[in-house]
Amino acid sequence: MITLAGIIGSGKSSLTEILSRELGSIPFYEPVEDNPVLPLFYKGNELAAKKRQAGEKDATNPYAYLLQTFFLNRRFMMMKKALQSRNNILDRSIYEDAMFMRMNTEMGNATQVEYSIYQELLTNVLEELNHVVPSNDYNLMILIKVSYDTMVSRIKKRGREYEQIENDPSLIDYYGRLLKYYEEFEKNYNQSDMLVIDGDKFDFVENIDDRNHILDMIEMKLVDLGNIDCNEYETLRQKRLG
């Protein structure tokens, strides 16, 4: 299984689509458009931030726990399907879900009780997945790193109102914190091999040369892991380059 990771606007979904077409595998996308909780979560963040500024220190976001359990449930279903054949691709990681829940707890958006219940549920999910695939030796995590400016620019371009800092100034702090959590995520991740891509330097969506470079990097890593062989790599490369 291949999993994409990266902050909001890093290009995970775009690279998932590109890579799945390249490999002829199945993409699994994070539930956003059919997610009834996500807009409520952003509104809850805004209200909680205002309450804390007004002196209500224990104000939480009532939708933080609900959102993360929604994602965890959907991710679990997608991972079970993705593991049924090789090199299927998820556009976000279950380990990022856990990071988001920890961040929201540390920010005060979720309670310690909610965090403990979430951690217990996550542990059970991961144990079930380990019964399906007892080893992560063939799995690959691809982390796309982008700067704050790139992130905000892409968020603005895709136009979801609830993500815009112009509509909710508290997102400036939220996005800044998120970048720091991703730095920690990169340092501490040890569940499988990780390939890091510079999303500021390489525009794999608009620039065909950058896209080919990134696909070469990924496919060479898949050869190293034994997920594709050298002949498959050369066939993919020649097909791409014409």
Neighbouring C-alpha atoms within 13 Å toward the C-beta of 136: 15
In terms of C-beta density within 10 A (0-12 exposed, 13-18 middle, 19 or more buried), how is residue 136 classed? middle
Domain ranges of the chain: 2-241
Helix, strand or coil, per DSSP, at residue 110:
coil
- For residue range 103-140, list pLDDT tens digits in order: 989 988 899 999 999 999 999 999 988 877 656 667 89
Is 145 within 8 Å of 196 (Cβ atoms)?
yes
pLDDT on residue 21: 95
For the chain, residues with pLDDT lower than 70 are 133-137
pLDDT on residue 137: 65
Q: Does domain 2-241 have CATH number 3.40.50.300?
A: yes
Catalytic residues: 91
**Binding site: what residues are annotated?**
6-14, 30, 42, 68, 92, 97, 154-158, 163
pLDDT on residue 134: 58
**Binding site for substrate: what residues are annotated?**
30, 42, 68, 92, 97, 163
Helix, strand or coil, per DSSP, at residue 220:
helix
Instruction: Give the tokens for residue 10.
Output: 């890093």
Distance CA 185, CA 162 (A): 25
C-alpha radius of gyration, the chain, whole number: 19
**Binding site for ATP: what residues are annotated?**
6-14, 154-158
Counting every residue written for the chain, the total comes to 242
